[in-house]
Amino acid sequence: MPLFAALENQETQAGYTECITELAIKGKHCQELLLLPIISHLSSSDDSRWVTWINPPPLNRSKLKEFGLDQRPILIINTKSQAETNALLLRCLNNGRSNTVIANIEDDSALDRRQLCYAANNGNSHCLLVL
């Protein structure tokens, strides 16, 4: 199944609804090349809401332009701690202003997937965790 179709048609796992996608990417340098096409696809939908990216790797403006992301509504937020990231992730999912919230997570042990799904369902958003 193509990657985008897998993201859009993710099957329910472990009792969670189709609200969380997790990607484990080794090496921060690979994230930009792997995530920018996904983000371009997500931000090109008819949905006029933001794509929010929490703690992205350093981004190259020419790469953003190459994927058409220099003209899209993308909100980039950097946090100072894992606790702040977790709280912001829940808030962004819950408020409904983003169709997708992407979060680069160092340690996912403190994340409650049920809370993430509840917030995502409440805000009609999708959560993409990058581990």
15: domain CATH number is: 3.40.50.300
Q: Distance between CA atoms of 107 and 1, rounded to whole angstroms? A: 28
3-class secondary structure, 2 = coil
Q: Distance between CA atoms of 102 and 19, rounded to whole angstroms? A: 12
User: How do beta strands 98-104 and 126-130 pair?
Assistant: parallel
pLDDT digits (tens), the chain, 131 positions: 455 555 555 444 444 557 898 988 887 777 888 888 888 887 777 778 889 999 998 887 888 888 888 777 889 999 999 999 999 999 999 999 999 999 999 888 888 999 999 999 999 999 999 98
Residue among 103, 95, 45 at smallest CA distance from 79: 103
Provide the domain count of the chain: 1
Domain span at residue 115 reads: 3-130
